[in-house]
Chains A and B, each alone.
Chain A
Amino acid sequence: MIRLTQSGGVNPIERYRAPGLALCMYAYVAMFVGTSVAHAGQNPMHVAVAETHSDTSQESLSGNAARGTAEIAPASTSARKHKTFWPWWLGALALGSLTIAFWSVLRMPLGVSNSWDKVCFWRRERERERLKAGVVNAGPDRVQDALLAETLAQFGPGALDQAVTAPAASGAKRIANQTAPVASHLIFLVMIGAGGVISALLNGGISMSFDLGPEHRAYFGDGVLLWLVLFLGGAATGFGVRLGGGCNTGHGLSGMGCLQVGSMVTTASFFGTAILVSLLLEWVLG
């Protein structure tokens, strides 16, 4: 029988959907616990105090949570100066469990650059989806008939008898991965942005700015140079991400988590380069 889906038949991974969902819920809980931890010392009174004595505000926040931008943000400018971030363990729990939950629920590796790629070349993807839908709709029997016809055309009538008597070729161990249509990838990307917006709204609000924060402004200003640098940096990112085959979610989290050699090499490469370039930036421009 011809199997149309890559994970056809009884899929053992179905079993993992429940724990995946549990992990997903757990990620949500971790999210809200983390928010409350980060806000523990941030009631209006403390914020008012913090404006004059930034040291006390740091002590009032528990542990690593306070070590966000509080130290480096200049004591003026933007409304985001009191923004605090999750402590490392919470961020690690959230990201790690999210990667696992994503895979066990959706059966695709978490990889955002792949979504970018699909969305960028949506026309090609749409055509591919259309053809695949045609094959699925035709049903296994019709597809097999068509394939047999093509086999006859390619290898001649004798081939069929030969092949039947020949030992079965080696099967391949398949990856349980599913694909998603372009629209879903687009929704995923947009929702990532939306999640960031919600987070910013819940934690200090959104303010429009024409730079990427005070440190970035110190390096590149906020004029034409900034836009040019960002465009070129973005182009390097986009190009490098496709050349390397993934970004820090695809390679760093999914790939490294599965002990893939290519991911480890790429992750080491981009982390190393980022450290070098950042140190150079600080040295030359700082």
Chain B
Amino acid sequence: MACPHKITCELFPLISGSGALNIWQNYYCDGNYEGCKRYQSTLDGQQIPITLLPNGRTLDLSTLKKTEKEKVE
């Protein structure tokens, strides 16, 4: 059973492109989609931010910037 929101999910294109990220898709979109925090939020009528990950964590781009800077230094 696949997630009915696959076609409109904003995050889905991001996690379906690369091979390594397919694990999200296997685990949530095509598997336990009812456990996906994004899916659960739609049931509450919330508009889902693109950065919300299926496990409930938020994709943090700011920390990544720091690590890159550290690398450069």
Total inter-chain residue pairs, C-beta < 8 Å:
111
Q: From residue 131 to 179 of chain A, which have CB atoms closer than 8 A to chain B?
A: 131-132, 134-135, 138, 142-151, 153-155, 159-160, 162-164, 166, 168-175, 177
A128 close to B (CB within 8 Å): yes
Q: How large is the interface on B (under 10, 10 to 19, 20 to 34, 35 or more residues)?
A: 35 or more
Instruction: Kindly provide the distance from the CB of A166 to the nearest chain B CB, expressed in whole angstroms.
Output: 7
Report Cα–Cα, A239/B18, bound state, in Å: 41
Query: Which residues from B are CB-within-8-Å of A5?
Result: 13
**Within the complex, which residue of B14, B23, B47, B50 is in contact with A163, where a contact is CB–CB below 8 Å?**
B23
**Within the complex, which residue of A128, A143, A163 is in contact with B61, where a contact is CB–CB below 8 Å?**
A143
A150–B19 touching, CB < 8 Å: no
Report Cα–Cα, A172/B24, bound state, in Å: 14
B51–A147 touching, CB < 8 Å: no
B61–A175 touching, CB < 8 Å: no
Report Cα–Cα, A147/B58, bound state, in Å: 10
**Within the complex, which residue of B6, B21, B60 is in contact with A172, where a contact is CB–CB below 8 Å?**
B6
A145–B26 touching, CB < 8 Å: no
Query: Which residues from B are CB-within-8-Å of A1?
Result: 17-18
Please tell me the number of chain A residues within 8 Å of chain B, measured between CB atoms.
Answer: 45
A14 close to B (CB within 8 Å): no
Report Cα–Cα, A123/B55, bound state, in Å: 25
Report Cα–Cα, A1/B18, bound state, in Å: 6
A211 close to B (CB within 8 Å): no
Main secondary structure of the interface of B (DSSP, over half): loop
Query: Which residues from B are CB-within-8-Å of A149?
Result: 64
Report Cα–Cα, A140/B64, bound state, in Å: 13
A127–B61 touching, CB < 8 Å: no
Instruction: Kindly provide the distance from the CB of B19 to the nearest chain A CB, expressed in whole angstroms.
Output: 5
Report Cα–Cα, A175/B13, bound state, in Å: 12
A216 close to B (CB within 8 Å): no
B30–A147 touching, CB < 8 Å: no
CB nearest to A127 among chain B residues:
B49
Report Cα–Cα, A39/B8, bound state, in Å: 46
CB nearest to A163 among chain B residues:
B23
Query: Which residues from A are CB-within-8-Å of B60?
Result: 146
Q: From residue 51 to 69 of chain B, which have CB atoms closer than 8 A to chain A?
A: 51, 53, 55, 57, 59-61, 64-65, 68
Given the interface contacts A121-B47, A124-B47, A128-B47, does A6 sit within 8 Å of B10 by beta carbon?
A: yes
Instruction: Kindly provide the distance from the CB of B49 to the nearest chain A CB, expressed in whole angstroms.
Output: 4
**Within the complex, which residue of B29, B49, B64 is in contact with A145, where a contact is CB–CB below 8 Å?**
B64
Chain A residues close to B by CB (< 8 Å): 1-6, 8, 121, 124-125, 127-128, 131-132, 134-135, 138, 142-151, 153-155, 159-160, 162-164, 166, 168-175, 177
Could you give 23 example pairs across A and B, Cβ below 8 Å? A1-B18, A6-B13, A128-B47, A128-B48, A131-B50, A132-B49, A132-B50, A134-B51, A134-B61, A135-B59, A138-B61, A148-B20, A148-B21, A151-B20, A151-B21, A154-B57, A155-B27, A160-B20, A163-B19, A164-B19, A168-B22, A169-B16, A169-B30
